[in-house]
């Protein structure tokens, strides 16, 4: 069942966010992009504080009381574009051992409905190229590659 994440889900949310952050830190990247210890707690707590603003999407898929998948995103204001605003997905993750069961697909349907209710015309996200599992998932989804983000390490740092 898809439902809002509640303060009572905080520990499970942190655990799932931490799973994602550990995966990112296992990837061979540029040596600078590393997620700090305890970042999952800080990230989760910031989003829980923002829930009442109506500017965040923070829902999970639950099997009984177990959080198995979640999507966390925020509305981006874009007054310089005709679309005016979009939902930016900061994190989408499914628990290890629970993947390929359709939980994320159900959450993404819910994201679409949430955006329709709020008159948000587009949804965006980033995926790290070295995270091949994520790239494969998003390539099979209804999302389309839109722009490329480049990165470079500054010499001497």
CB 130 within 8 Å of CB 28: yes
Structural domains in the chain, CATH included, are: 2-139 (3.40.630.30)
Q: What is the pTM of this model?
A: 0.93
On whether the CB atoms of residues 33 and 26 are closer than 8 A, the answer is: no
pLDDT of residue 157: 65
101-104 LR contacts (CB < 8 Å, sep 24+): 101/68, 103/61, 103/68, 103/69, 104/61, 104/69, 104/71, 104/137
Backbone angles phi, psi at 144, to 5 degrees: -120, 145
pLDDT digits (tens, 9 = 90+) for 81-100: 999 999 999 999 999 999 99
């Amino acid at each position: 069942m898809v439902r809002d994440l509640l303060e009572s889900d905080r520990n499970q949310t942190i655990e799932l966010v931490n799973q994602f952050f550990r995966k990112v830190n296992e990837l061979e990247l540029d040596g600078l992009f590393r997620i700090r210890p305890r970042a999952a707690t800080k990230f989760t707590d910031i989003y829980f504080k923002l829930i009442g603003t109506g500017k965040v999407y923070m829902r999970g898929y639950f099997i009984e009381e177990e959080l198995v998948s979640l999507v966390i995103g925020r509305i981006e204001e874009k007054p310089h574009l005709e679309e005016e605003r979009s939902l930016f997905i900061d994190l989408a993750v499914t628990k290890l051992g629970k993947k390929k069961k359709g939980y994320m697909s159900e959450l993404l349907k819910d994201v679409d409905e949430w955006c329709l209710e709020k008159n948000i015309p587009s949804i965006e996200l980033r995926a790290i190229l070295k995270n091949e599992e994520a790239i494969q998932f998003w390539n099979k989804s209804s999302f389309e590659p839109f722009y490329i983000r480049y990165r470079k390490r500054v010499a001497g740092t």
